[in-house]
Structure 1
Amino acid sequence: MSTTGQSSALFADVIRERRSVRVYDKSVRLSHEEIKDLLKEATLAPSSSNAQPWRFLVIETEELKAKLQSIAYNQSQVTESAAVIVVLGDTEGYKRLDEVFGESVKRGYMDQDTAKSLVERSINVYASMPEESLHKVIHIDGGIVSQQLMLVARAHGYDTVPMGGYNAVELKQAFGISDRYIPIMLIALGQAAQPGHRTTRLPIDDITFFNEMPAT
């Protein structure tokens, strides 16, 4: 496996060695630049219309992690890890599509007319979408980027654990998160003090169906 902070070249190693780690080395800390580098790679993930609705609140100070721990039902990894990434979905993220596609035009990825058409159509779709449907799209995109972040972290020699166990209402109140943003999950980030437990998976033949579903 690669040295901490350096990217692994073997993707097979990354996906096999990723574990949900709950005991962290409290002495290991990541700089803001290191965290931003991990997030930058994570955000190469796909998203609907390339709207990139994900937003990240990084909780790293001892005081704020202690505040977050009670909200996350006293899970110890919140305070032991180097940082906790609060993955949020921006319900107004689509409003930056003009910026996104404008940059694609500048880089020569598409022409101006194509970009304009895509932006107008996408914004109209998002703006008229029922709230439930919009939230579903944002949750899907948030889940994709979260998984990518965990794999990116492992590739750089770090460990993570996704956490859905927290009080979303208290989280938003405690950290001043407006209703514009949807909490997706918490991800503890750091270096393992104890390896995550090995786990098994269901046989692929039991969960994969070609062309039609079984009768029962």
Structure 2
Amino acid sequence: MSHFINNDFSDILLHRHSVRHFDPTVKISREELQEMIAEAITAPSACNLQPWRFVIIDTEAAKDVLRSFFMPFNTPQLETAAAIVFIFGDTQAYKSYRDLWNQACEDGRISPEKRDEVLKTFLPLYEAASYEGLVHDAKTNSSLAAMQLMLVARAHGYDTNAIQGYNSKVAAEKLGLDPERYVPNMAIAIGKADLIHLNKEVQSSRYSVDEVSRFL
């Protein structure tokens, strides 16, 4: 059962903001972290490939690993967040694609004919794709899960900060992943805002809709 304490979507969406200083006394159970990830991976992905992987850092020993390749200006989040969720894109997710649809067929959620149509249509695209194309696909689609995780965390009553200030060349290997297969997307700090620091933080502004969009 979800631990949503905030079901006001407008508040979740419009009042979410990046927090750099968290209350270090606040802890989040691993069960709830797993629950939030389960909710986050209901996000869509191209061809339902689901090319995302999560590494959850919630111990001092694991934070020491992050300290070795995080940029210093992200120290406040690293030191005070209840957890850091590192999201990677999986460039080889397509290799499990057949298993995914075979299971759906066995469960009766899709007919054998529809399964074969899906596999014939989409799987060859990934098998023939360049590595650069697979990286782009993995990072784009895992970004959908990353944004959803931040909104889910807010629904659970927590604050977040998306982090890309780290040495991306070593992130996967440092966290025990194959660096050729897994490409770092972002790390998300999760916890409860330190209200004393929150009042001192600069509230970011946004460009106007006219500046960032146009109709054709």
TM-score (norm 1): 0.89
Q: What is the count of residue pairs matched by the alignment?
A: 207
Does the Cα contact within 8 Å between 2:65 and 2:175 map onto a contact in 1? no
Identify the range of structure 1 (152-161 vs 163-172) with the bigger mean alpha-carbon deviation.
163-172
Q: Which amino acid aligns with 2:18?
A: S
Structure 2 counterpart of 1:44, from 30, 38, 42: 42
1:126 is aligned to 2:126? yes
Asked if structure 2 preserves the Cα contact closer than 8 Å seen for 1:89 and 1:184, the reply is yes
In structure 2, the residue matched to 1:189 is: 190
Measured against aligned partners, the alpha-carbon deviations of 1:59-113 in whole angstroms (never above 9, x if no partner) come to: 1111211331231113221121111111011111112222322343355443221
Alignment pair present for 1:25 and 2:29: no
In structure 2, what is the Cα distance between the partners aligned to 1:44 and 1:85? 17
Q: Secondary structure at the match of 1:9?
A: coil
User: 3-state DSSP class of the match of 1:169?
Assistant: coil
Match of 1:84 in 2: 84
- Stretches of structure 2 that go unaligned for 5 or more consecutive residues are none
Query: Residue 46 of structure 1: SS of its match in structure 2?
Result: coil
**Which has the larger displacement, 55-64 or 118-127?**
118-127
The 8 Å contact of residues 172 and 183 in structure 2, kept in 1 or not, is answered as no
Provide the alpha-carbon RMSD of the alignment.
Answer: 1.7
> C-alpha distance in 1, partners of 2:204/2:67?
26
The alpha carbon displacement at 1:207 in A equals 2.1
Equivalent position amino acid for 2:30 in 1: H
How far apart, CA to CA, are the structure 1 residues paired with 2:182 and 2:212? 34
- Would you say 1:93 and 2:98 are equivalent positions? no
Equivalent in the alignment of 1:214: none
Q: Which residue of 1 aligns with 2:141?
A: 141
Q: Percent identity?
A: 33
| Alpha-carbon distance in structure 1 between the residues aligned to 2:34 and 2:46 | 23
Q: Runs (4+) of structure 1 moved beyond 4 Å?
A: none
Who is 1:199 aligned against? 204
Give the partner amino acid of 1:124: P
Contact 1:161 1:189 in 2 (8 A): yes
- Cα distance change on mapping 1:160 and 1:208 into 2, 3 Å: same
Letter in 1 for 2:28: L
Length-normalised TM-score, structure 2: 0.89
1:132 and 1:54 map into 2 onto residues whose CA distance is 16
Q: In structure 2, give the amino acid aligned to 1:30.
A: I
Superposed displacement of residue 48, structure 1: 0.9
Q: Are 1:110 and 2:110 counterparts?
A: yes
